Amino acid sequence: KKPEHFARFRGAEVEVKLYRPREGRKEFVGVLKDYAEGAVTLEAGGRETVFTKQEIALVRLYLRV
Protein backbone atom coordinates (compact mmCIF):
# COMPACT_ATOMS: atom_id res chain seq x y z
CA LYS A 1 0.00 0.00 0.00
CA LYS A 2 2.88 2.37 0.68
CA PRO A 3 5.55 3.46 -1.83
CA GLU A 4 8.23 1.61 0.14
CA HIS A 5 6.23 -1.64 -0.22
CA PHE A 6 6.19 -1.22 -4.00
CA ALA A 7 9.94 -0.49 -3.99
CA ARG A 8 10.59 -3.62 -1.92
CA PHE A 9 8.67 -5.88 -4.31
CA ARG A 10 9.84 -4.38 -7.61
CA GLY A 11 10.60 -7.32 -9.90
CA ALA A 12 8.07 -9.60 -8.17
CA GLU A 13 5.00 -11.04 -9.87
CA VAL A 14 1.86 -9.15 -8.88
CA GLU A 15 -1.85 -9.15 -9.63
CA VAL A 16 -3.57 -5.86 -10.47
CA LYS A 17 -7.36 -5.60 -10.25
CA LEU A 18 -9.15 -2.63 -11.80
CA TYR A 19 -12.43 -0.90 -11.04
CA ARG A 20 -13.39 -0.86 -14.74
CA PRO A 21 -12.31 -3.18 -17.56
CA ARG A 22 -9.38 -2.27 -19.79
CA GLU A 23 -8.98 -4.24 -23.01
CA GLY A 24 -11.98 -6.31 -21.85
CA ARG A 25 -10.29 -7.41 -18.61
CA LYS A 26 -10.30 -6.28 -15.00
CA GLU A 27 -7.42 -8.50 -13.77
CA PHE A 28 -3.80 -8.44 -14.94
CA VAL A 29 -0.81 -10.50 -13.75
CA GLY A 30 2.78 -9.55 -14.50
CA VAL A 31 6.07 -8.31 -13.12
CA LEU A 32 6.03 -5.07 -11.12
CA LYS A 33 8.44 -2.81 -13.01
CA ASP A 34 7.83 0.59 -11.42
CA TYR A 35 5.69 2.63 -9.04
CA ALA A 36 5.59 6.41 -9.30
CA GLU A 37 3.03 8.87 -7.95
CA GLY A 38 0.42 6.14 -7.55
CA ALA A 39 0.88 4.71 -11.06
CA VAL A 40 1.91 1.06 -11.39
CA THR A 41 3.93 -0.21 -14.37
CA LEU A 42 3.41 -3.90 -15.07
CA GLU A 43 5.28 -6.04 -17.60
CA ALA A 44 3.40 -8.99 -19.04
CA GLY A 45 4.08 -10.83 -22.27
CA GLY A 46 7.01 -8.57 -23.15
CA ARG A 47 4.77 -5.49 -22.99
CA GLU A 48 4.67 -2.78 -20.33
CA THR A 49 1.35 -1.35 -19.20
CA VAL A 50 0.85 1.62 -16.88
CA PHE A 51 -2.16 1.69 -14.57
CA THR A 52 -3.11 4.96 -12.88
CA LYS A 53 -4.02 5.27 -9.23
CA GLN A 54 -7.65 6.03 -10.15
CA GLU A 55 -7.99 2.76 -12.13
CA ILE A 56 -6.54 0.42 -9.51
CA ALA A 57 -8.80 -1.36 -7.05
CA LEU A 58 -6.14 -3.75 -5.71
CA VAL A 59 -2.48 -4.69 -6.14
CA ARG A 60 -1.09 -7.75 -4.41
CA LEU A 61 1.62 -10.34 -4.77
CA TYR A 62 0.61 -13.14 -7.12
CA LEU A 63 1.17 -16.60 -5.71
CA ARG A 64 0.92 -19.51 -8.15
CA VAL A 65 -0.88 -22.45 -6.62
Q: pLDDT tens digits for 7-24?
A: 999 999 999 999 999 989
Measured distance CA(18)–CA(37) in Å, rounded: 17
Residue count of the chain:
65
Give the pTM: 0.87
**pLDDT surpasses 90 at 27:** yes
Sheet containing 25-36: give its strands across.
47-51, 39-44, 25-36, 13-22, 56-61
